[in-house]
Amino acid sequence: MRILVLGGAGYIGSHTALELVRAGHEVIVADNLVTGHRSAVPKQAKFYEGDIRDAAFLDKLFDAEKIDAVIHFAAFSLVGESVANPLKYYNNNLCGTEVLLEAMVRHGLDKIVFSSTAATYGEPENIPILESDRTCPTNPYGETKLAMEKMFHWTGLAHGLRYVSLRYFNACGADASGNIGEAHNPESHLIPLILQVPNGKRESVSIYGTDYDTPDGTCIRDYIHVTDLAQAHILAVRYLAEGGASDIFNLGNGIGYSVREVIETARKVTRHPIPAVETPRRAGDPARLVASSEKAKRVLGWNPVHDSLEEIISSAWNWHKNHPDGYAEK
């Protein structure tokens, strides 16, 4: 199939583009490179630099390329920034998706896989979290992603678009080749922050809150390897290509690890003491966030294979220790 990956120069997008190439698909990547990296795009993929808010750019792209399906990663994704600057997120995430869907309707494209987030749920009602649970986001990032899902739903009813929305939890790790990985600026994810200590980029890592109702008092999260996420997107494309109805799926390991467990595993992998500093809780951090991915396994046939925390951190460390400054161009 010929698959367009929007935001394919970003962290999860580049790993998905690479897995698509390895699976024998023809891959077209479009990215505005605001947060993405040109060198993260697979050499076998055709690349277009442009913005999904630019209707003329999308028309030119859809005229030039025969596209069978779209995978949509193009969005801003920093929770804290979204609270401080909500309109930036509504403009890029929501308005950008509206322009994209108009272009898809104009060009008769009817299949899209969407990179959503666990942030659509907000404070969880149940653990593990089910797709049918209440959605009540606690920040504009999650709010825009939820609104994008609803935009796909209503566009589907009006124009025959079929979509899969993948709500994932803590993406982490790096491709086994060590050639691509996570490189955010600023970095906000726990595992890269921890690995900055053995890389000489920071003296210690902070633990925000040690008095949660968890076995060791620190927050528990569901960590999922980026390559397993990439495989889920490929399976979702196949599901739509085979006539599957629009649907929403959680993606996680179903296993929660505490902040202390992640730090201890990183110490083991890197053989570095990694000093940790205990600090007060951050506002809005739930004690536990763990997904049920049984629906994705049952319907899509998804089977995460890189599910050990040690393997996840080892793959991340393989990237970070050899690329301490991320990608060379930034």
Identify the helix (H) or strand (E) that includes residue 104. helix 96-106
Contact partners, residue 230, CB within 8 Å, separation at least 6: 12, 15, 16, 18, 19, 20
141 is catalytic: yes
Start-to-end C-alpha separation, the chain: 32
Give residue 149's region: left, alpha or beta (phi > 0; psi -120 to 50): alpha
Residue 34 CA: distances (Å) to CA of 47, 185, 319:
15, 11, 22
CB 8 within 8 A of CB 16: yes
Catalytic: which of 11, 48, 141, 239?
Answer: 141
CB 1 within 8 A of CB 109: no
Q: What DSSP character marks residue 244?
A: P
The residues annotated as belonging to the active site are 141
